[in-house]
Amino acid sequence: MTHPATTPKPDPDTGSDAELACRAALGDSRAFEAIMRRHNQLLFRTARSILKRDEEAEDALQEAYLAAWRAIGSFRADARLSTWLARIVTNESLGRLRRRSAQVIPLDSAIDHGDDSVESTLEDDADRQPERLAMREQMRSMMERRIDRLPDAYRSVFVLRAVQEMDVAETAAALNLPESTVRTRFFRARSLLRESLSRDFDMAVGDAFSFDGMRCDRIVAGVLSRLPDQPAAPKR
């Protein structure tokens, strides 16, 4: 007796971003989970670069994922999914920042700081300075503090370009900035940090804002527990 051939179900952990997005648009939550795990580090770092608080960045990321799930049917494969998601996370994070303070300066506005005033914000208290030969973990923590002290307009550009290693075009699209502005702000942020950290800079930057497995699992579980059964159909 022969059995009819069955078509194997696609592995939700494989496939291109466009394929995963298509399956998610049909209500496949496992495909959406794969999307989250694939892009969690980039998107957490994006939120963290704006909000400067780990817990608030996690909350913003979960809300952004829920917004992405509702709108996933409108995603078009001719765009990069990572950029589309980064724009959603950026908007959610900026909205939280505006609600937190009425004095927020938008990322796309020019900020004029004297060099002395900007550099002074990068200085740590003496009792917080790690020793030159301290462990790498201490250097990573110091790097995170210095990045947090960058002006708002520089910080998000720097995190996406240097820490996350996005190119100029992707960074400009994610933050809705001209590419020339991205280049200028990245150059200035890098110069400020190099002046502050000297030769320790290059060793520490790759580890800034580490994204461990526990945080990844927590964000994914939080979003999955709140997903509606079906994403909204795209508007025609």
Tokens of 232: 């909204």
pLDDT of residue 133: 43
pLDDT of residue 32: 95
pLDDT of residue 130: 42
pLDDT 10s digits, 24-61:
999 999 999 999 999 999 999 999 999 988 999 999 99
Structural domains in the chain, CATH included, are 17-102+213-224 (1.10.1740.10), 115-205 (1.10.10.10)
CB–CB of 21/35 below 8 Å?
Answer: yes
CB–CB of 32/70 below 8 Å?
Answer: no
CB–CB of 73/234 below 8 Å?
Answer: yes
pLDDT of residue 179: 94
Q: What percentage of the chain has pLDDT greater than the value 90?
A: 45
**Count of CB atoms within 10 A of residue 55's CB?**
8
* 3-state SS track over the chain: CCCCCCCCCCCCCCCCHHHHHHHHHCCCHHHHHHHHHHHHHHHHHHHHHHHCCHHHHHHHHHHHHHHHHHHHHHCCCCCCHHHHHHHHHHHHHHHHHHHHCCCCCCCCCCCCCCHHHHHHHCCCCHHHCCCCCCCHHHHHHHHHHHHHCCCHHHHHHHHHHHHCCCCHHHHHHHHCCCHHHHHHHHHHHHHHHHHHHHHHHHHHHCCCCCCCHHHHHHHHHHHHCCCCCCCCCCCC
Which residue do the tokens 């210095």 mark?
Answer: 146
pLDDT 10s digits, 72-122:
999 988 889 999 999 999 999 999 988 877 554 555 554 444 555 556 655
pLDDT 10s digits, 186-218:
999 988 888 776 645 555 566 667 666 788 888
pLDDT of residue 110: 41
pLDDT of residue 132: 44
pLDDT of residue 115: 55
**What is the arithmetic mean of pLDDT over 134-158?**
82
pLDDT of residue 91: 94
pLDDT of residue 79: 82
The residue type found at 141 is S
pLDDT 10s digits, 162-186:
888 889 999 999 999 999 999 999 9
Which residue do the tokens 């110069």 mark?
Answer: 191
Nearest alpha carbon to residue 89 among 144, 35, 34, 131: 35
CB–CB of 85/68 below 8 Å?
Answer: yes
pLDDT of residue 37: 94
- Whole-Å CA distances, 113 to 138, 143, 158, 163, 235: 29, 21, 17, 24, 44
